Structure 1
Amino acid sequence: MDHNPRLSVSEVLYVGLCRKIGTPTEVAIRRDVMDMHEMIEKPVYNHRGIAVMKSGSYREGFRLRSSDIDTMFWHYNYKLITDISQSRFYNTTEHVILLMEDSDTPPGFVRLSLLTPTKHEITISCLVLFNGSAYISSRLWREMHFQLQNKVHIKKENLRLHGPCSSGFHGSIEFDLAHCLATFPWPKLLGSWVDRCQRHTWPPVPVLEIILKNECHCVPIGSKVNVTSNELEWRLSFSQAEQQLVCTMNHTQFLCYGLLKIFLKEIINCRENELLCSYYMKTTMFWMMQSGQVTWCPTNLLDCFWNCLKYLIHCVYCGVFPNFFIPQNNMFRNKVVGVTRKSLLRQLHLYYRMGVSCLLLSPTLRSILESALSSPSIVLSAAEGKFLSLVDLDICGINELCNLNFPAQKIWQFYIYLKSINTLSRLSLSSYQLLTLQYCTAESLVHLAFIMTNSASCYTHKNIYYIDTIICGMLKMAAILGPVSDLLYLALYYYRTERYDKTLHITCITKERLSQTCIMYNETVDRQKYNEAVGNLSLSRRMKIAWVNDVRLLKTIPFLEELCIEQFVSQHNGETLLIVSPFVVVEMLSVLSHHRLGNRTQCLQSLTDLQTLLLYDDGRYAPLFTRDLSWQILGICQHAVGDLQGALESFEESLKQEPYHKIKEATDFRIECVKQQIQRNVHM
């Protein structure tokens, strides 16, 4: 008897999307890690009077190629009020008080009138007189912060203005940075939204209370109603509320949202004219969830999608797409109109008439559905969509932790990080939240140690020994708490402080640990050996024994003198860090340390090991995207030991790799130095 009956198309789609988008556990891990990282960072930003919030599909838990990271910044000393009487709650000498006016603006947009004098240069430069009062120009605000962002953070050609944001790319991930203004409490014009939520009992009361306790924001972009006179308009943004609403979704709803995003990107917007954006898909989900007319379960996923598509077609037909928070705000206005609206309507009607087969127009969905539609006897386990093995969950965890970054650059900032971690550790947390604290502790200790190292000139001879003891203690603690590869930061410090014997001792220990069969690096692992070796251990122990990360060298911290040129060039070209395989770092430090000690034989053996690694590895131990720097390191080592021809060939090989680190100028410089040295040797 068949105990595993054939799944419906909806169930096949559910299982396939779990594999593509993530299981409930994977999505929970992603959110737990990002939540905890934000909580750790919050006190550092608060100390500077700034609040930061990440949003966008990446923050919501998606890891699709199109997932972006949106970051919103706002200053606490700007206070937005909806009634002049509220100004009495603020200190006019410390706060910039702005009155939100919506009496003659399009729905969802406001003007910001300055009520108090200010010495803030950006605010003053953005003032425009209108009807006898001073208003903040959204256009000038947006342009001023774009210019500041260009100077401080990202290379100019990597950044562009996009709507209210400064947009660019970190690797393959798109990001948006928005400098906005926060309003608390929520504007009175949203009272009808609260009433609607209470009538429909969605979102649930506890979630609604959380939303109303947080801010909403004004972002610097005007409406499209009259583009010639919208300079003073600011759009109301509800990113915090939207994030809470997405987190209330059950997994079928989350997958339906992801399905809509894939459908939009790979089917609707595969043409040149992209009229719709993913925000329409999110809004569609909110309206359908609040309507209460859809049964959200895995066996009904296709019907859930179909209801959402019908709602979207209805909106295009009417030419009205109401904002979820302010329905009077027609988001189609001046965008989906006239001939373009009719063309889009024909396109959507065509997909609707095609039925399920329209999903096959998407390469992603076709790979999921083809086997189900072509084979009447396909059998899958429904559990495949709900559960993953221990190895898969750990791969998810290490990937999330690896993507965390620490923008702090000063000693006091890392002290605040560590104090924040200590405070958070007393809370009742999930296992992955606790793991994030542990990982961030190790990262903070490493960065703090090297920042203190680079401040050594500030210390007297009397306390250098004391500082060195502290630095070694922090790096040893980081090695105890963090992944296996964190031990290499101690080796880097010993090399930098000319303790080459200790460097070799640490690299020997690290190399031995990296050779274990249970090691998990770059999503590569022997699953059986991993389960046998660490399967019964706690999550924390598994990270310390079997997880391996790349060695990440921040642009602001000189870790190794031999790579300073590469760090400088990469930073100049807009990259934030150098990423090196730990297997490459082990051999590099062995070569350089043996060379410094005069151990010629061991030096050449380590050099051969490094060269062999790069020549014959398929990307398992030296990821392909880091090969530009890996070949550069081999060339640096060959140059150091006097193999000029080998160094020249390695530098030339570096130029052939994917320019991930953007170090071409450094490579060209090193090639020129080697050629000049070869010529000098010829003439001697």
Structure 2
Amino acid sequence: MDHIPRLSEVLYVGLCHEIGTPTEVAIRRDVLDMEGMIKKPIHMYRGFVWMFSGSYREGFRFGSSDRDTMCWTYNHKLITDISQCWVYNPSKHDIILMEDSGTPPGFVRLCLLTSPRDDFTISSLVPFNGGAYISSSLWRETYFQSLANDRRNPNRNITIHGPCTNSFYESIEIDQAVCFATKCWPNLIRGWVDRCQRHIWPSMPVLETILSKGCHCVPIGSKISPFNQLEWRLSFSQAEQQLVCAMNHTQFLCYGLLKIFLKEVINYRKEPLLCSYYMKTTMFWIIQLGHVIWCPNNLLDCFWICFKYLIHCVYRGVFPNFFIAQNNMFINKVVGIGRESLLQQLYQYYRMGVSCLLLSPTLRSILEPALSSPSFVLSSAEGEFIDNTDVDMSAMLEIFQESFPAENISVFYLYLKSFSTLSWISLSSYQSLTLQFCTAQTLVQLAFTIANSTPCYTYKNFYVLDRIICNMLKLALRLGPVSYLLYLALYYYRTGRYEKTLHITYLTKQRLSQDFNMYVTVDRQRYNETVGSLSLSRRMTRAWMINVRLLENILCIEELCLEQKASQQNGEPMLHLSPFLVVEMLSVLTHYRQGSRSQCLQSLTDLQTLVLYDDGTYVPLKTRDISWQVLGICQHVVGDLHGALHSYQESLRQKPVNKIQEATCFRIGCVKQQLQRNDYM
């Protein structure tokens, strides 16, 4: 398969569908940038920072991608020279000196210069050379034990993986590193800065941003050092994010192409010697060295140049770190027989030429149509191969993942203050949309938190509080997606205003039934005809739908209190219910409370039909456990005990996404007791 521009453009378009178009990748980054800006004041209030890193933060959304996170506190201040001590207040901060003398390149030792203030630091101190040093191994083990002993932690099967704790949340693999952050750069980084200025990549604004953000120390030492338990590896994760964002889309897709080839070809059914970090580093070196034309019709040639660089590094047994070139990342990893075997494998692919890409199932499915038909041509212009509906669906999925839980009302007010501040600065369209959704979500959570936590001793107090809550929920439904109407209906039901509940439920049902709505699926033609010309904000409020979320410690409806407690005890922070399900549930319960038997039974029939016969369009598969549970609760309420028992049993057979099995078993026991009592009578 010789390199020709036509095949490169076909591969470019195919990778855009597989990895993301320029707009989709920009949306992913904008949403996460907005999350970081919103949460910054809350991080300062809590005293620590959480940050996404790795491929997810860079804009990839592979099904197998893990979520890398880094966490550090504001109280630890790292310096590179003793003269920098005066910058910080020793009575408020732990001042830590980074020592890079006598350590392998890319590693430092951390010497504590002040008295420790937290248990993590105290339990990790080791005497060395007359000073108190923080042991990376003890630090890592302490954090591992704290996670393993935390029953509220939703992540399970926790293990130590390198500098991180590795765990799974549902099917998502999560790596967490508790580290130290510093704005001070080690001396070895000066060579990298000079190289960047010499090769003019990254650009000077990007370089200045990188240098202003600093770097991190993660808890793992060098494998070749006798004192590696005291060593910490320098991490340039924030810098890497900036560098990946500085790539043009052809470069980003080439990076993704290398990751796919690594996973599906090089490491397929083999003990992996290479990881995706090597692919990222390869991209950095090739881009900085220049002499490559990065454009869609040259993508195959770009891949081949990167692949040859990788072979060259394996052949030499030297893979220099991009930031500290003296750090050979192959030491104690790609060595001996393993390196020889890997080199032979890569050389076989080299002899095949770029046709080795066909060994990957993903890449073969992209390239085969073009290889079998010489006339097969695809335009690489984004507007010609992706519909605006796809972009909106991608944006909806990204934005609706955002969640802003708070431990008290003060944190909610900090969120609202952050929203107000950010609304006055210049934002991209998708950042503004993310801010709008997050404002609506926080208003809903705050409204129900106030309703749950504020006592009303007089009717006047209740009236004032009720007006505040209703105004919050009405503002939220004006800012949020279509299904946010249901939170107002839930509040009315909770406070016994059943006519208003039915009115809102009826309005919601009408709006949910529109054929242009975007939920699990969407009618592209009707969506474009009806809302395609509207602003992003109006599109969200008129056509986008999201599951109803019931967060832990925030009671929205008494009938599901048991499920919320069970879910919370098993580490699941919220229940997810289909808006179509909630509409029918409220209809059943409200008619029952009003004593409208016939209408209650009709609504129950509609609910049963929805749960029984839906194919995932209106009741997503991930909500099936709670959906059967809701049906059982409604049947139980109206007195259909046999139907309720069957529904609860069906709930247990579903994938336990919401982790409500304990509540289900309790309800099954209650139904069986009632049936036995009825039989006895």
Superposition TM-score, scaled by structure 2 size? 0.97
Using the TM superposition, give the Cα deviation of residue 312 of structure 1 relative to its aligned residue in structure 2, in angstroms: 0.9
Match runs of 1:644-663 below 5 Å: 644-663=641-660
> How big is each residue's C-alpha offset from its partner over 1:366-410, in whole Å with a ceiling of 9 and x where there is no partner?
211111112222132333577632211111111111111213222
Using the TM superposition, give the Cα deviation of residue 663 of structure 1 relative to its aligned residue in structure 2, in angstroms: 2.0
- 1:3 corresponds to: none
> Aligned partners of 1:422, 1:34: CA distance in 2, in Å?
18
**Aligned partner (choices 540, 543, 553) of residue 550 of structure 2:** 553
Letter in 2 for 1:225: I
- 1:131 corresponds to: 129
Match runs of 1:239-388 below 5 Å: 239-383=237-381, 388=386
Using the TM superposition, give the Cα deviation of residue 460 of structure 1 relative to its aligned residue in structure 2, in angstroms: 6.3
Letter in 1 for 2:296: P
**Aligned partner (choices 526, 532, 536) of residue 539 of structure 1:** 536
- 2:404 corresponds to: 406
- 1:614 corresponds to: 611
> Aligned partners of 1:549, 1:413: CA distance in 2, in Å?
24
Letter in 2 for 1:655: L
**Aligned partner (choices 94, 106, 119) of residue 108 of structure 1:** 106
- 2:160 corresponds to: 161
> Aligned partners of 1:251, 1:401: CA distance in 2, in Å?
22
Check whether the contact 1:34–1:59 (CA below 8 A) recurs between aligned residues.
yes
> How big is each residue's C-alpha offset from its partner over 1:572-591, in whole Å with a ceiling of 9 and x where there is no partner?
22222111110001001111
CA 590–158 in structure 1, closer or farther in 2 if over 3 Å, else same: farther
> Aligned partners of 2:270, 2:306: CA distance in 1, in Å?
24
> How big is each residue's C-alpha offset from its partner over 1:531-553, in whole Å with a ceiling of 9 and x where there is no partner?
12112211111111111111111
Using the TM superposition, give the Cα deviation of residue 325 of structure 1 relative to its aligned residue in structure 2, in angstroms: 0.5
> Aligned partners of 1:30, 1:423: CA distance in 2, in Å?
22
Letter in 1 for 2:51: M
Stretch moving more, 112-121 or 580-589: 112-121
Letter in 2 for 1:663: I
CA 576–257 in structure 1, closer or farther in 2 if over 3 Å, else same: same
- 1:519 corresponds to: 517
Using the TM superposition, give the Cα deviation of residue 462 of structure 1 relative to its aligned residue in structure 2, in angstroms: 4.9
CA 152–141 in structure 1, closer or farther in 2 if over 3 Å, else same: farther
> Aligned partners of 2:145, 2:41: CA distance in 1, in Å?
27
**Aligned partner (choices 384, 388, 391) of residue 390 of structure 1:** 388
Matched, 1:217 2:216: yes
- 2:36 corresponds to: 38
Letter in 2 for 1:176: D
**Aligned partner (choices 586, 589, 592) of residue 589 of structure 2:** 592
- 1:56 corresponds to: 54
Using the TM superposition, give the Cα deviation of residue 164 of structure 1 relative to its aligned residue in structure 2, in angstroms: 1.4
3-state SS, counterpart of residue 297 of structure 2: helix
> Aligned partners of 1:616, 1:461: CA distance in 2, in Å?
46
Stretch moving more, 585-594 or 118-127: 118-127
Using the TM superposition, give the Cα deviation of residue 461 of structure 1 relative to its aligned residue in structure 2, in angstroms: 5.8
Matched, 1:197 2:193: no
Using the TM superposition, give the Cα deviation of residue 668 of structure 1 relative to its aligned residue in structure 2, in angstroms: 1.9
Matched, 1:434 2:410: no
- 2:639 corresponds to: 642
> Aligned partners of 1:458, 1:231: CA distance in 2, in Å?
57
- 2:423 corresponds to: 425
3-state SS, counterpart of residue 270 of structure 1: coil
3-state SS, counterpart of residue 93 of structure 1: coil
Letter in 2 for 1:538: S
> How big is each residue's C-alpha offset from its partner over 1:120-164, in whole Å with a ceiling of 9 and x where there is no partner?
222111110112211001111112222333417524633222211
CA 492–94 in structure 1, closer or farther in 2 if over 3 Å, else same: same
Using the TM superposition, give the Cα deviation of residue 556 of structure 1 relative to its aligned residue in structure 2, in angstroms: 3.2
Check whether the contact 2:9–2:379 (CA below 8 A) recurs between aligned residues.
no
- 1:565 corresponds to: 562
> Aligned partners of 1:436, 1:377: CA distance in 2, in Å?
42
Matched, 1:633 2:638: no
3-state SS, counterpart of residue 337 of structure 2: helix
> How big is each residue's C-alpha offset from its partner over 1:406-450, in whole Å with a ceiling of 9 and x where there is no partner?
132221111111111111111122111111111111011011111
Stretch moving more, 671-680 or 171-180: 171-180
CA 461–92 in structure 1, closer or farther in 2 if over 3 Å, else same: farther
- Structure 2 residue runs without a partner (length 5+): none
Matched, 1:184 2:180: no
Check whether the contact 1:409–1:556 (CA below 8 A) recurs between aligned residues.
no
> Aligned partners of 1:316, 1:560: CA distance in 2, in Å?
61
CA 234–619 in structure 1, closer or farther in 2 if over 3 Å, else same: same
> How big is each residue's C-alpha offset from its partner over 1:484-513, in whole Å with a ceiling of 9 and x where there is no partner?
001111111122222222211111110010
CA 7–120 in structure 1, closer or farther in 2 if over 3 Å, else same: closer
> How big is each residue's C-alpha offset from its partner over 1:612-657, in whole Å with a ceiling of 9 and x where there is no partner?
1122211100011211111111011101111011111111211222
Match runs of 1:458-497 below 5 Å: 462-497=460-495
Check whether the contact 1:193–1:325 (CA below 8 A) recurs between aligned residues.
yes
Letter in 1 for 2:290: G
Using the TM superposition, give the Cα deviation of residue 247 of structure 1 relative to its aligned residue in structure 2, in angstroms: 0.4
3-state SS, counterpart of residue 381 of structure 2: helix
CA 214–520 in structure 1, closer or farther in 2 if over 3 Å, else same: same
Check whether the contact 2:152–2:568 (CA below 8 A) recurs between aligned residues.
no
3-state SS, counterpart of residue 94 of structure 1: coil
Q: Percent of counterpart pairs with the same letter?
A: 68
Letter in 2 for 1:551: V
> How big is each residue's C-alpha offset from its partner over 1:165-216, in whole Å with a ceiling of 9 and x where there is no partner?
1222333332222111111222222111101111111110110011111120
> Aligned partners of 1:661, 1:180: CA distance in 2, in Å?
31
3-state SS, counterpart of residue 520 of structure 1: coil
**Aligned partner (choices 620, 623, 639) of residue 620 of structure 2:** 623
> Aligned partners of 2:445, 2:166: CA distance in 1, in Å?
28
Check whether the contact 1:23–1:385 (CA below 8 A) recurs between aligned residues.
no
CA 7–336 in structure 1, closer or farther in 2 if over 3 Å, else same: closer
Check whether the contact 2:154–2:169 (CA below 8 A) recurs between aligned residues.
no
- 2:118 corresponds to: 120
**Aligned partner (choices 5, 11, 14) of residue 12 of structure 2:** 14
Check whether the contact 2:403–2:438 (CA below 8 A) recurs between aligned residues.
no
Letter in 2 for 1:533: T
**Aligned partner (choices 145, 153, 159) of residue 143 of structure 2:** 145
Check whether the contact 2:481–2:544 (CA below 8 A) recurs between aligned residues.
yes
Superposition TM-score, scaled by structure 1 size? 0.96
Letter in 2 for 1:223: S
Instruction: Give the aligned length.
Output: 677
> Aligned partners of 1:459, 1:199: CA distance in 2, in Å?
72
3-state SS, counterpart of residue 142 of structure 1: helix
CA 291–7 in structure 1, closer or farther in 2 if over 3 Å, else same: closer
Using the TM superposition, give the Cα deviation of residue 231 of structure 1 relative to its aligned residue in structure 2, in angstroms: 1.0
Stretch moving more, 489-498 or 237-246: 489-498
3-state SS, counterpart of residue 168 of structure 1: strand
